Amino acid sequence: MRLLADIPLTSLKGVGPALSQKLAKVGLENLQDILFHLPSRYQDRTRIIPIGALRPGQDAVVVGSVVAADVVMGRRRSLLVRLQDGTGALSLRFYHFSHAQKTALAPGTRVRCYGEVRPGASGLEIYHPEYRTQNADEPVTVEERLTAIYPTTEGLTQLRLRSLVQQALAFLSPASLPDWLPESLRQQYRLGPLAEAVRYLHQPPPDADTALLQEGAHWAQQRLAFEELLAHQLSMQRMREQMQAQKAPPLPPPAHLPEQLLAGLGFQPTRAQQRVSEEICYDLQQSLPMLRLVQGDVGAGKTLVAAMAALQAIEAGYQAALMAPTEILAEQHFLNFSRWFEPLGIEVAWLAGKLKGKARTAALEQIAGGAPMVVGTHALFQAEVHFHSLALAIIDEQHRFGVQQRLALREKGVNGQLSPHQLIMTATPIPRTLAMSAYADLDTSILDELPPGRTPVNTVVLGDSRRAEVVERVRAACLQGRQAYWVCTLIEESEELTCQAAQSTFDELQLALPELRIGLVHGRLKPAEKAGIMQQFKDGQLQLLVATTVIEVGVDVPNASLMIIENPERLGLAQLHQLRGRVGRGSTASHCVLLYHAPLSQIGRERLAIMRDTNDGFVIAERDLELRGPGEMLGTRQTGLLQFRVADLMRDSHLLPAVRDASVQLLQQHPGHVSPLLNRWLRHGQQYAQV
């Protein structure tokens, strides 16, 4: 028997080239795809409700006789059809109708219809119901099963999707959709048969537990979620195996450089920094590529840990590269590393996308010639960039890069033969739930201690009706010798409008605070202008900095102790936490004012309350995950990572420990089942294993 995955949708009745293209847009190309395109909810059309028993807000099947059909003129012209069934009366209202439709719904006609009951001008009404006329002697039929409502796209109706699913179900059997989870594993984790689960979800019986289905907690949904999470876990493990099958240059523990760096800094690392540095030092001594994620809350000192690792590579005679997602953060790292490394006689090279002409050629020559430390943006990935002997790649804010990009670094290793060690850093604490799945290919270290002298930031939430008070607070703080940030957030995802908003806020604050020296930074400035203004702020020449969220990461001004964030309800919790981390870097008590615009939604209120109540990045990350979901939180809507079809990481997190155990069993006892599972679930996502 042919497998569902091998039967194209064009083999179904009614699927021509145009429809086939529409289906392909939403990732539906074969019969397996259409059967894994699960309903988002269900309607109960299995019984007829007497009109007298209808309630507003109810979806119902009704049968009655037309007593009147009139075109009525209100604000919009509509066809109003009155229906009776002996228990009561109901109106059907159509705003789009034809003369033929009005004629067909003549008084005396029997009609069976379905829709949502709403209160209207003539009592209870259904707007644009699905309906059909019936002969008086025709038996009244109802659906035998719950009706599936599918996620759809423009030009793809529910009726068309249902018809395709019905046709595909005729091909469904355990032979056409093989169950790659062995019987022993299914019994161990109490998982039902796959084909049965798929059939049930498209055609639930009338007595199905709709509450369980709505929550995604039904056994059939959990069966598919388990398999999808398992495929994801296997792909990450396979990627890790592939990475570790490669050789990396073993780097002996450094004897001199880290000690010299610390002596020059004049402070000792925290215990957490020492512990994580030791873990990295051990990994770098191996001939397997290190794959380590360092999580540290804002200000925990990840950059110093990265510098110590870089010095181990450099002292062994190799190159280290640090890559950051934005120019401003990359520049910040370049300045830090130059300040730390140049006194040690270590050359630091710089490469960013904006570097052009002779400057770019010179940078490429410097990197190819063996500059020991290279800092840049994702421009370091480009084909024309050749390293002399890259042994360590440090990637900051990994969640901004796709897995593909991270793997592209492999080709940059020593002679293209040895893979560089990889150290990934993030200041976005990743909840354990997510780390188990999203970063299953990485070892994790956590910097769980802030350097001494850091003060927790006191956060207050105020409505923008109190803006004048806030302006006065800024004046007082700056006149006492402190510095402040005023952050303007994204306006409906438009960078241009946000820059305009920042400009007008800057103009307004200059009028209100003429005695203060105020600077403005936004995404439309040239990098050199941006860097110049940031430097002036850092040097204390500016007292107040008006900025867009470009200052989210990497800017370190210990004297800044006040931050105002306008419209904080527009940002995710992780981003708010990052921004807030720009203050509280000195020993003075620091404050963050979240200046929201009323009215706030329920979720908006909850989120701002979380920011007010805690400074703990992990607590904030857990709540962010609950409120926003994993794809958005990890910044992976674009990268393809974690775009699950059935599974939901928050809802199904209880499955993850069992999924991890099952992946080990499958790899050891049934290795032949791994590739078919990956092909089934990851064909449209990123096939990490084959990168």
Give the residue with greater pLDDT, 281 vs 138: 281
**What's the CA dihedral at 595, 598, 604, 609 to 10 degrees?**
50
The answer to whether residues 608 and 569 touch, using CB atoms and an 8 Å cutoff, is yes
Where would I find the H helices in 26-137? Answer: 31-35, 99-104
pLDDT band at 330; cut points 50, 70, 90 = confident
Give the residue with greater pLDDT, 280 vs 456: 280
Longest CA span, the chain: 97
380-406 pLDDT tens trace: 878 888 999 999 999 987 554 555 555
Residue 685 clears pLDDT 70, i.e. is over it: no
| Number of other CB atoms surrounding residue 122 within 10 Å | 13
Percentage of the chain exceeding pLDDT 90: 42
Residue with tokens 């303007």: 488
Radius of gyration of the chain (CA): 31
For the chain, residues classed under CATH 2.40.50.140 are 51-142
Q: Residue 562: CB partners within 8 Å, gap ≥ 6?
A: 473, 474, 477, 482, 483, 484, 485, 583, 590, 591, 592, 593
- Residue 690 is predicted with a pLDDT of 32
Q: What does the DSSP 8-state code read for residue 583?
A: S
At 401, list the tokens. 């890069």
Give the residue with greater pLDDT, 94 vs 582: 94
At 528, list the tokens. 């050199």
Task: Give DSSP secondary structure letters for 180-213.
Answer: -S-HHHHHHTT---HHHHHHHHHS--TTS-HHHH
- Residue 691 is predicted with a pLDDT of 28
**Superfamily covering domain 457-614:** P-loop containing nucleotide triphosphate hydrolases (3.40.50.300)
- Residue 281 is predicted with a pLDDT of 97
Q: Dihedrals φ, ψ of 270, to 5°?
A: -70, 165
Q: How far, CA to CA in Å, does 496 sit from each of 205, 559, 579?
A: 53, 30, 20
Judging by beta carbons within 10 Å of its beta carbon (0-12, 13-18, 19+), is residue 341 exposed, middle or buried? buried
Give the residue with greater pLDDT, 688 vs 400: 400
Domain 51-142 has CATH 2.40.50.140: yes
Residue 432 clears pLDDT 50, i.e. is over it: yes
Beta bridge mates, 595: 462, 566
Judging by beta carbons within 10 Å of its beta carbon (0-12, 13-18, 19+), is residue 73 exposed, middle or buried? exposed
Beta bridge mates, 62: 113
How many residues are listed for the chain in this entry? 691
- Residue 471 is predicted with a pLDDT of 96
- Residue 167 is predicted with a pLDDT of 95
- Residue 308 is predicted with a pLDDT of 96
- Residue 640 is predicted with a pLDDT of 36
> Against a cut of 0.85, is the pTM above it?
no
Residue 635 clears pLDDT 60, i.e. is over it: no
Average pLDDT, the chain: 85
- Residue 435 is predicted with a pLDDT of 63
- Residue 535 is predicted with a pLDDT of 84
CA nearest to 567, candidates 581, 587, 549, 550: 549
For the chain, residues classed under CATH 3.40.50.300 are 457-614
